[in-house]
Homo-oligomer: A and B are copies of this chain.
């Protein structure tokens, strides 16, 4: 009753089973888990093992034979053994001739060996057809039936028929095979499960660096300066006030960095007069991690929102407001409402809210299942039009926040401008250049270049 839907399963069908026997070499964790799942899906399974003593851990319906005997029973042999024990397979070369060997091994480090395990296997048993598969699936997930993480199985191999047979098995297990080409892809497939967010490395390192810089910048301006000149201890600013300066600054800078490479690419294309020359490598890499940059920017923006909304709950703020009120009373003067101030305060808040709202919308659209359901025109509309609108709103929010004190000399401490001024540099550059690029005299040639036109065509069709 309390079972998970993915647990829906059945024992071996007892009639008209036409699925081909699968042989598994090795009775370790993964071999057993895979055997179990194969039996559930209707495949007869035979294990090849050094010792044919049947362990209670091996699925009941599976046979356990010697390696040679087991191999003879099946056309497909799954090698659930570690690379360092592959050597003994050379002695079985005769039996394995023409068979499909499925390499499911993983390494402990990226690029641990000069060649991939699958290529090494193919070289050891030249008569067999080697297919790489299943290395991205976890034994625990196979066993428990809860595939919370990926169901994708990368498959590669030189023999297309062998690959097709393996992909059919993958599908029968309820997983999604992804053909990655020839066995040359095995190296990358073996590295894949060892990766830890490779696309996020640059955005996260960049934001850590910027965070550290702005932390010390704000520390000097907002904590050390008042301590030195006014002997005020406001070290508690480290907890909220300073993070709430760093977060919006980083959100704005990173968001601008999402749109900067597009602007640079347009300038390069205009300058070269063709789109058929590759961009510099750094620009290519930058363009590929724009989504990640944007999401990190969104994370900082969300933190900024939370830090801002708790302001009225902070005991320091309550004390400050209360003492301002008290001092007004004691001085027996009532301040009238400053309408300009009210306008400035309300509009920077409203701009910030709208900017953040659009930013969250952009983030939702980048969810894989949402972006899968929009066509390219819609995707570009959201990511480019709405994206620029977000940048405009957030930049305006920061500009209006500065308000009357913007560029006033009293806001400089030790000649250091307020951090929000520094954060405005890149966004303003991006917006100005983008604005210039919209002018017809630049937009028209750019559109033509992007449609394939060349100023100095060198290659004719």
Q: How far is the CA of A311 from the CA of B174 in the complex (A)?
A: 49
Is A16's beta carbon under 8 Å from chain B? yes
Interface residues on chain A, number (Cβ under 8 Å): 151
Enumerate chain B residues within 8 angstroms of A49, measured Cβ to Cβ.
461
Using A55-B459, A329-B329, A342-B316 as known contacts, say yes or no to A174 and B183 having CB atoms under 8 A apart. Answer: no
Contact call B367/A27, Cβ cutoff below 8 A? no
Contact call A18/B160, Cβ cutoff below 8 A? yes
- Interchain CB contact (< 8 A) of A174 among B15, B179, B195, B312: B179
Q: Identify the stretch in A147-155, A248-256, A426-434 within 8 Å (CB) of chain B at 4 or more residues.
A: A147-155
Enumerate chain B residues within 8 angstroms of A311, measured Cβ to Cβ.
312-313
Contact call B240/A349, Cβ cutoff below 8 A? yes
Contact call A452/B29, Cβ cutoff below 8 A? yes
* Per-residue B-contact encoding for A297-315, CB less than 8 Å = 1, 0 else: 0010011011111111111
* Per-residue B-contact encoding for A341-376, CB less than 8 Å = 1, 0 else: 111111101100110110011000011111111111
Contact call B316/A345, Cβ cutoff below 8 A? yes
Interface residues of A in 363-412 (CB under 8 A from B): 366-379, 381
Q: How far is the CA of A461 from the CA of B29 in the complex (A)?
A: 12
Enumerate chain B residues within 8 angstroms of A374, measured Cβ to Cβ.
149-150, 197
Contact call B322/A149, Cβ cutoff below 8 A? no
Which among A161, A299, A452, A461 has the highest number of chain B CB atoms within 10 Å? A461
Q: How far is the CA of A20 from the CA of B291 in the complex (A)?
A: 37
- Interchain CB contact (< 8 A) of A182 among B10, B174, B196, B460: B10
- Interchain CB contact (< 8 A) of A321 among B148, B318, B328: B318
Contact call B349/A313, Cβ cutoff below 8 A? yes
Is A68's beta carbon under 8 Å from chain B? no
Using A148-B379, A313-B349, A375-B149 as known contacts, say yes or no to A2 and B367 having CB atoms under 8 A apart. Answer: no
Contact call B152/A372, Cβ cutoff below 8 A? yes
Min Cβ gap A403→B in Å is 10
Is A42's beta carbon under 8 Å from chain B? yes
Q: How far is the CA of A156 from the CA of B311 in the complex (A)?
A: 58
Q: How far is the CA of A273 from the CA of B385 in the complex (A)?
A: 49
Contact call A334/B345, Cβ cutoff below 8 A? no
Is A261's beta carbon under 8 Å from chain B? no
Min Cβ gap A357→B in Å is 6
Using A322-B325, A349-B313 as known contacts, say yes or no to A343 and B236 having CB atoms under 8 A apart. Answer: yes
Contact call A184/B322, Cβ cutoff below 8 A? no
Enumerate chain B residues within 8 angstroms of A211, measured Cβ to Cβ.
none
Is A4's beta carbon under 8 Å from chain B? yes
- Interchain CB contact (< 8 A) of A371 among B148, B156, B291: B148
Contact call B192/A4, Cβ cutoff below 8 A? no
- Interchain CB contact (< 8 A) of A13 among B2, B14, B181, B342: B181
* Per-residue B-contact encoding for A422-459, CB less than 8 Å = 1, 0 else: 00000000000000000000000000000010000001
Is A78's beta carbon under 8 Å from chain B? no
Min Cβ gap A360→B in Å is 8
Contact call A2/B349, Cβ cutoff below 8 A? no
Is A324's beta carbon under 8 Å from chain B? yes
Q: Identify the stretch in A198-206, A214-222, A223-231, A413-421 within 8 Å (CB) of chain B at 4 or more residues.
A: A198-206
Q: How far is the CA of A412 from the CA of B338 in the complex (A)?
A: 28
Is A51's beta carbon under 8 Å from chain B? yes
Contact call A326/B323, Cβ cutoff below 8 A? no
* Per-residue B-contact encoding for A128-155, CB less than 8 Å = 1, 0 else: 0100000010100100101011111010
17 pairs of residues in contact across A and B, judged by CB atoms under 8 Å: A2-B199, A5-B198, A9-B185, A10-B185, A11-B181, A11-B182, A13-B158, A16-B160, A136-B375, A150-B372, A174-B178, A311-B312, A312-B313, A315-B341, A322-B324, A325-B325, A369-B370
17 new A-B pairs (CB below 8 Å) besides A4-B288, A14-B158?
A: A2-B285, A10-B156, A10-B183, A10-B185, A13-B158, A13-B183, A42-B160, A55-B460, A57-B276, A138-B376, A235-B343, A236-B347, A240-B346, A306-B357, A314-B346, A314-B349, A369-B370
Q: Closest 6 interchain pairs by CB?
A: A13-B182, A10-B181, A369-B369, A239-B346, A315-B345, A10-B185
